[in-house]
């Protein structure tokens, strides 16, 4: 197998891994693998009057697995880490706020709707995913072609 063929299989393997993880989480616990919902659940539990360890632990392990899996891939494969642009902390906080607001308004994020909802043939998730994609295309067009931001 040539290097180009191997590299073409990596996204397929990643997608299959995400699908398998989402399926296992749904089958074994009845939970949807929506990353924003999982992260928001940690914050909700921590700020509740009586946080439940069982609710916090699986959520934290899921998030650690996401970050740790990507770090492990880069460590094992020697692939370079993605470049981080020099962006101010204000822009990062504003972007995080906008994403959080969007996930609350849309009742989920791209992973919840795009991976899990479409897999369950949810019409609401189909509409949400189409909306995410449309606004992603519009945003890229505005920033790259109208504002000249790369």
Sequential pLDDT tens for the chain (150 residues): 565 666 778 888 888 888 888 888 888 988 888 888 898 889 999 998 888 988 899 999 999 998 998 888 888 888 887 777 777 888 888 888 888 888 888 888 888 888 888 888 889 999 989 998 998 899 899 988 998 876
What is the reported pLDDT for 150?
Answer: 67
Neighbouring residues of 118: CB distance < 8 A, sequence distance ≥ 6: 125, 126, 129
What is the reported pLDDT for 87?
Answer: 78
Q: Is the pTM of this model over 0.85?
A: no
Chain-centre distance for alpha carbon 42: 16
Nearest CA among 56, 53, 34, 44 for reference residue 128: 34
Q: How many CB atoms lie within 10 A of CB 74?
A: 13
What is the reported pLDDT for 57?
Answer: 92
CA–CA dist 37, 29 (Å, integer): 15
What is the reported pLDDT for 142?
Answer: 92
What is the reported pLDDT for 1?
Answer: 55
Q: How many CB atoms lie within 10 A of CB 63?
A: 14
């Amino acid at each position: 197998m040539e290097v180009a063929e191997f590299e073409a299989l990596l996204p397929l393997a990643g997608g299959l891994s995400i699908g398998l993880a989402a399926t296992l989480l749904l089958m074994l616990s009845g939970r949807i693998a929506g990353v924003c919902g999982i992260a928001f659940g940690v914050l909700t539990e921590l700020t509740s009057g009586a946080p439940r360890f069982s609710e916090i632990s699986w959520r934290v392990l899921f998030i650690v697995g996401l970050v740790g899996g990507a770090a492990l891939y880069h460590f094992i494969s020697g692939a370079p880490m993605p470049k981080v642009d020099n962006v101010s902390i204000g822009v990062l906080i504003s972007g995080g706020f906008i994403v959080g607001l969007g996930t609350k308004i849309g009742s989920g994020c791209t992973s919840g709707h795009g991976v899990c909802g479409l897999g369950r043939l949810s019409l609401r998730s189909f509409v949400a995913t189409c909306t995410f994609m449309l606004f992603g295309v519009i945003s890229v067009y505005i920033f790259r072609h109208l504002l000249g931001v790369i």
